[in-house]
Chain A
């Protein structure tokens, strides 16, 4: 396999056949990166699990709720009746958001752990476009996967509930909530990429983002009074999840779209800091 004679004269004339690269080229490149990793923690497998777990748990939880409907406490029955679509989506959702956080952080940190960040940045020395392309591609893939889980989960859940509650896509706000769950997961993916870019080390980044999503919200709930309620409502994941709910109770400080806007603002801010750090630091 050794070519002892050197034949380098390039048959492909790069001067004539290549074009000045733009952002679409970077999107293509990041898509190649995302689809081409074959390892134990393979992206494709992870996304497959995400859909399976999301749909599976929705099925399980709605089935259990439906089966035990008559023995459920009145308060719980009311919660389900108030927002059946939110109940259906919410059960699978918790798994999806964790999976997306882990995957998003991993997509970024694996560039560092494998050392492939060096060729990546040699190709895109301005760095920021690479980060934005990576976040955009991952967000789109996360959206598609999340919807692939949300719609089947909703239909299965609605079927499970049929004997007690009637809920369909045509009901007010239901379609928005089903699509909204994908939007939330999608932006969460970009959020996780930004965290990965800031922290760089896989374990630390995953711990950080999971702590943020799982620990911070319940903790903020313990804060007393109106200040506590406001802090809790404006936390990224709390605000973002409003888009996947149908009801607007008086306790909610933010409307679904307001909440989603707050979450997007958080993600944007984090992305700006991540881009600034990416440009400033040694690769």
Chain B
């Protein structure tokens, strides 16, 4: 049982903070989705976990050990970090062969890994001629080479065709089902909703949430209600008085926040307002994610900078 533990991890590049006192754990037997908008620090965190980048402070361990202390690291951890991390002049076979030799694996394992990802037809060809999807398959083969207990995959379905995505989704679930620890990053929320049991959500290098996918959607998706009425102004005034927040849509409909459909119906009924539509809207994981990361950007570590920016814009406006 290999748990990934990230403890108070920080990484600064010059003055830029990429990862900011991040702590989370990834449990075996589940697929854990690692979510965040571009530039949130997902890739950096993964590079820190596997010892490619050195942390400014904090630590990351796999099964209680830092990655650099692993004697046969590919037996323990399989990582897919960036697409195209293969010499373009080297064949897929030779790429896997040299990795295999560093670990003391038998040569037969290279053939198996190639078979596993369906690259046998092109194994002898230069990786430089590979499509994005083939390159990604080679990266996955390298990650699975040592039959590892832990998988750390950065945007693995990038560039895969729908067939490949379906195949990979099953593969991740199968691997987790065998009791392996799977951490997979993505900016595709819909993809995570389908594959991830748990989520680690970060924004600006900070932890926003760690919970199950179901819980994340439930707690973070604000329920809204779409209302249509011939007297929108009257209803808007009534709903605001009742504690709702109302947004007028372009097509004349009203999106009501902070009130459920029953409550809105009651208010309308008591005041004799006709309703043409009253429909609760369920937010997707995508929206839940946008909601949370948007908050982190507004009120996160760089809020002071944002205010300074706003201020400098306001000064000339006021002066004129």
List chain A positions with a Cβ less than 8 A from chain B: 1-8, 10-12, 14, 17-22, 25-26, 28-30, 32-33, 36-39, 42, 110-111, 114-119, 121-126, 130, 280-283
Contact = CB atoms under 8 A, between A and B. Distances in A.
B98 A39 contact: no
Given A10-B112, A38-B89, A122 B50 contact: yes
A13 to B, nearest CB: 9
B104 A122 contact: no
Residue with the greatest number of chain B CB neighbours at <10 A, chosen from A3, A110, A117:
A3
Contacts of A21: 71-72, 102-104
Contacts of B163: 2, 4
Nearest to A127: B68
Given A1-B118, A3-B167, A282-B52, A119 B103 contact: no
Contacts of B128: 39
26 contacts: A3-B116, A14-B146, A18-B103, A21-B72, A25-B102, A26-B102, A30-B98, A32-B101, A36-B90, A36-B94, A36-B98, A114-B85, A115-B82, A115-B84, A115-B85, A115-B86, A116-B95, A118-B81, A122-B50, A123-B99, A124-B102, A282-B47, A282-B52, A282-B53, A283-B47, A283-B53
Contacts of B81: 118, 122
Contact of A282 (B54, B98, B146, B175): B54
A4 to B, nearest CB: 6
Interface in B279-297: none
A11 B112 contact: yes
Contact of B70 (A3, A12, A125): A125
B147 A14 contact: yes
Contact of B104 (A19, A32, A33, A125): A19
B136 to A, nearest CB: 13
Contacts of B94: 32-33, 36
A115 B135 CA distance: 13
A119 B86 CA distance: 8
B113 to A, nearest CB: 9
B98 A29 contact: yes
B297 to A, nearest CB: 26
Interface residues of B, number: 62
Contacts of B144: 8
Contacts, number: 157
Given A18-B106, A119-B85, A8 B53 contact: no
B137 to A, nearest CB: 9
Interface of B: 47, 50-54, 67-75, 77, 79, 81-82, 84-91, 94-95, 97-99, 101-106, 108-109, 112, 116-121, 126, 128, 142, 144, 146-147, 163-164, 166-167, 170-171, 174-175, 178
A37 B170 contact: no
A145 to B, nearest CB: 19
Contacts of B69: 125
Nearest to B53: A282
A263 B108 CA distance: 43
B108 to A, nearest CB: 5
B112 A3 contact: no
Q: Closest 10 interchain pairs by CB?
A: A39-B89, A36-B94, A29-B101, A115-B85, A21-B104, A123-B102, A32-B98, A282-B53, A19-B104, A37-B89
Contact of A122 (B52, B108, B120): B52
Contacts of A36: 90-91, 94, 97-98
Given A119-B99, A125-B70, A280 B54 contact: yes
Contacts of B118: 1-3
Given A4-B163, A10-B147, A115-B82, A29 B116 contact: no
B170 A6 contact: yes
A3 B120 CA distance: 12
B51 A125 contact: yes
A220 B285 CA distance: 68
Given A11-B112, A17-B106, A25-B102, A122 B54 contact: no
Contacts of A123: 73-74, 99, 102-103
A171 to B, nearest CB: 44
Given A14-B146, A282-B54, A114 B86 contact: yes
Given A4-B163, A14-B109, A280-B54, 18 more contacts: A6-B170, A6-B171, A6-B174, A10-B109, A11-B112, A14-B147, A21-B102, A29-B101, A36-B97, A36-B98, A39-B89, A116-B85, A116-B87, A121-B52, A123-B74, A125-B69, A283-B52, A283-B53
